Amino acid sequence: MKCRNCGHKFPEDTQICPNCGAVFEVKSETLSISQTLAVGGIILSLLSLFLPFI
Ligand SMILES: [Zn+2]
pLDDT per residue as tens digits for the range 7-25: 999 888 888 999 999 998 7
Give the global pTM.
Answer: 0.44
Tell how far the Cα of 27 is from the centroid of ligand 1, in angstroms.
Answer: 18
Q: From the CA of 13, how far away is ligand 1's center (Å)?
A: 14
Q: Ligand 1 centre and the CA of 18: distance in Å?
A: 7
The domain ranges of the chain are 1-54
Q: Mean pLDDT across the stretch 38-54?
A: 84
Report pLDDT for 37. Answer: 86
Q: What percent of the chain clears pLDDT 90, i.e. is strictly above it?
A: 30
Q: What does the DSSP assignment read for 2-45?
A: B-TTT--B--TT--B-TTT--B---THHHHHHHHHHHHHHHHHH
Task: Using the mean position of ligand 1's atoms as its centre, give its distance from the Cα of residue 26 in Å.
Answer: 15
Residue 33 CA to ligand 1 center (angstroms) comes to 28
